[in-house]
Amino acid sequence: MSTRKRSGSGTKQPKEKIVYIFESLFRGEDVVRGYNNFWNELFLITPPSLEILDTEIQQLDDLKMCAAKPNIILVVKKCIEMLDSDNPKRVNNSLITLSSLTFALCRKYSVTQETSENYLEYVVAEAEDEIKSLIDKIKVLLSESDESSFYCIKFLLPILITNSCGRNKIMEYIMAANNLFEPLKKILSDPTQRLKYGNDIVILLTLLVNYRKSDRTNPYAVQLSLLDDEFALHGFGQIISTTLFEFIRLQSTNDVTTHNNSWISSFSSIVGNIFLSEEIDGKSQNIRQNTVLLLALYEAVHLNRNFITTLATTHTETSTAPSDLLSNSDVLPEVQTAPMLEASQYPTNLIVAVFQYCSVVMADHKNDNSLTNLKLCFIVLTCISEDQYANSMMHNLTFQVFLNKAHMRHRKVTSDRFSKPQPLAATLLDLLTEFIVTHLLKKFPMEHYLLCIGIIQRIIIYQKRCRIRLMYPWKSVWTAIISMLKFIMCQEQQLVKKMNIFNLLTKV
């Protein structure tokens, strides 16, 4: 089995007794024989760390896993039984063991979806009654201590994330129980718990809401659509806006530092990008992690009309973003002060966060993850522009918004990083105009342009319906659209082979 060394020394660190016990369990040995009080004593011992347990699980091949499966199921059952204990230490240790073991097993079998599903089917078949009772116990534990809530969340996330939501057996029990929405809502309403677990709660709710919603009535989607608790709604929106603003701050700090460096640094960056793959790029990683939050924002805007007021809720300052999402941003320079940080002195809201995030992602033309995120942003903006009340707010609320602009050879880089105070609808038109001008590429993003033109149409329709006119230099919009038409005409022979350009032309 694995051995571990003390950090900074060459001597081996002796294993703890609990590690030897789990090694014996994973070898398929009967360690319970002769010990009547084995499990009560086991859960009084601090369980092995996630790293140790994960290492032991990953070392098991198929043959060893077959031998270990009965003991693994036994450990899962005993962990669930121990949740009824009156001893808080036993409850916490059983939760730690259950969450760590679940994470390690899901990670081991996440390579092939078929194998992962077989494992879940095996667990459900052997411990069906225990898993059903576990869902009820999780509801109670989520409402108790912070530590219990933490490990309940860490148990649920690997199960829901590692496996396909549409074919996840445990999700069926969660849907049938339909008892997790209220405790999750309570955590969102509590500022202290929201700061600790809010990001994970939003991910959990998003996964639950999207479970087979196309072919059946999803109870969590129904409850989200009826949610009218202002504290929970504002907490939901604050988690999303805080994370987006933190991403914007990091990327803008990186841009400022890069612009202040010499041409040697630029050359080094170009050479470095040749050898760095996309998978290890910090910005790409953060963009992929933000996708689930954008999906959560879409579900909230699409399902809950009460959430529209949350979009316009003004925040004078933002909270610290959860470190979980941005833990892989080591490639970004840690600069204490930068011009972009001055944005915190301006009032902001969730719509401003989406606008600024779009502008940052939009500037990255070559990254497929950025285009995917941008498409999701445009879908969210489409839902917002379709709502008359949201449109009214965008035409009446005035904010000073920073929009990142891509560097292009035919225009100068402006030193003023902030636009003048103007209605949010005008800022949205600036954003859409910027997209039209900067994405006239041979790899033409047709879906993005259809969404972009659709949003502009909805803004104009709202103004015509309400008989108002936005004070905006419309010439820039028409110039951008005409440039797009000229580009399509010049590239017609190439584009017509790949996509239906007439669908876009008829909208224009």
Q: What is the pLDDT of residues 250-263, one digit of tens each?
A: 876 665 544 444 44
In the structure encoding, which two tokens stand for residue 111, read together? 């390579």
**Mean pLDDT (whole number) for 206-218:** 85
Say which residue the tokens 């998003």 belong to.
206
Give how far Cα 274 sits from Cα of 98, 268, 286, 318, Å: 43, 10, 20, 36
Tokens for 502?
């007439």
Task: Give mean pLDDT, residues 226-251.
Answer: 91
pLDDT at 427: 94
φ, ψ of residue 332 to 5 degrees: the values are: -85, 135
206-240 per-residue burial string, b: 16 or more CB within 10 A, e: under 16: bbbbbbebeeeebbbbebbbebeeeebbbbbbbbb
Q: Give the SS3 label for residue 399.
A: strand
Instruction: Please indicate whether residue 466 or residue 408 has the higher confidence score (pLDDT).
Output: 466
Torsion of CA 244, 247, 253, 258, to 10 degrees: -130
Q: Helices (DSSP H) in 10-167: which residue ranges?
A: 17-26, 38-42, 50-58, 62-82, 88-108, 113-126, 128-142, 146-162
Q: At 441, is the pLDDT very low, low, confident or very high (cuts 50, 70, 90)?
A: confident
Is residue 484 a contact partner of residue 440, using CB atoms and an 8 Å limit?
A: yes
What local confidence, expressed as pLDDT, does residue 343 receive? 43
Higher pLDDT, 65 or 407: 65
Return the pLDDT at 356.
Answer: 92
Are the CB atoms for 27 and 68 separated by under 8 Å? yes
At residue 197 the predicted structure's pLDDT band, cuts being 50, 70 and 90, is confident
In sequence order, which residues have a C-beta less than 8 Å from that of residue 179 and are 6 or more positions away? 135, 136, 139
Indicate the range of 93-102, 223-232, 281-290 predicted with least confidence.
Answer: 281-290
> For the whole model, what pTM was predicted?
0.81
- pLDDT score recorded for residue 340: 40
Q: Which two tokens stand for residue 275?
A: 């050898």
pLDDT of residue 123: 63
pLDDT at 151: 77
pLDDT at 473 over 80: yes
Which range has the worst mean pLDDT, 5-9, 92-96, 100-104? 5-9
